[in-house]
Amino acid sequence: MEKMKELYAQYNCDLKDADVKAAVETILAKDFAKNNTVEVYKKCLNSIDLTSLLGTDMEEKIAEMMRKVNDFPKKFPKLPNVAAVCVYPSLVPVTREVLNKNNGVNIAAVAACFPASQSFIEVKVAETALTVKAGADEIDVVISLGKFMSGAHSEVYDELSELKAACKNAHLKVILESGSLRSAVEIKQASLLAMAAGADFIKTSTGKPEPAATLEAAYVMCGAIKEYYKKTGIKVGFKPAGGVSTTEEAVQFYTVVKAILGDEWMNNKLFRFGASRLANNLLSSIEGKEVKYF
């Protein structure tokens, strides 16, 4: 823990939940209306990790989802495609087989004993390495939440460092499960820990526990990203996930992220949504009529 205390001491971790909530309300009051446009809806669509993480997922279902992603440019020639698709590790091979390699859409996969991360580090590392070998471009993992909340921050850091090494050239996206953390201070600490361990993205939630993604967590996490960038020169991406399903919610998150991190973060290299329902809702808002494509 001493190593982590030294890390946290370099950043502003003196946060109060009430202040965070007030700051979010101020940002939305000032900027939401000007961001609530079709052009922003298109940017949000282009930042989606189109996700299917059900226990009932089968190869044919995922193959059909990939065919829809492949056909999207023909169906909607004036719109940008999603950024990535996200599936379970065992479904990466069929995803890689069906997805058009030339469409610019990445393959993301959850790994390391998602969603609870309650297993041996050897198992997590092995699953991560196998998932990368199967063809995943991005790996989404969950921090060992119980260890973090019990104070074993250095152990969580060491685990994430091992998972980063197992990713090789694939990007590591670290899920904080921010709704389960007890305060803005813990969210800030978890963000800093994950970035220091090598995260390419930090992500709010799995969508399993409630609450999932919140605007307050986004504010804290983006603040951590901004500070980390100023200190290290390393740009880390941000991904709200879990419960972000409506166009209004997407624009709210977009507004908070843009207010803190600026225009250079508002692209799918550094900003994503984890979503299953959001794509159709954004398409409906863009087209001005109900669309059920994905």
Residues designated as active site: 140, 203, 239
Cβ proximity of 250 and 261 under 8 Å: no
Rounded Cα–Cα distance for residues 159 and 218 (Å): 24
- Kindly report the number of other CB atoms within 10 A of residue 179's CB atom: 21
- In 3-state terms the chain splits into helix, strand, coil percentages (rounded to 5) of 55, 10, 35
Cβ proximity of 143 and 113 under 8 Å: no
Cβ proximity of 187 and 178 under 8 Å: yes
Rounded Cα–Cα distance for residues 141 and 115 (Å): 8
Rounded Cα–Cα distance for residues 48 and 45 (Å): 6
Instruction: Give the sign of the dihedral formed by CA 126, CA 127, CA 132, CA 137.
Output: negative
Output the CA–CA distances (angstroms, integers) from residue 158 to 125, 144, 291, in the order listed. Answer: 12, 11, 45
Instruction: Give the sign of the dihedral formed by CA 264, CA 186, CA 245, CA 37.
Output: negative
User: 169 by DSSP, 3-state: which?
Assistant: coil
User: 93 by DSSP, 3-state: which?
Assistant: helix
DSSP-derived secondary structure letter, 109: E
The alpha-carbon radius of gyration of the chain (Å, integer) is: 18
Cβ proximity of 157 and 193 under 8 Å: yes
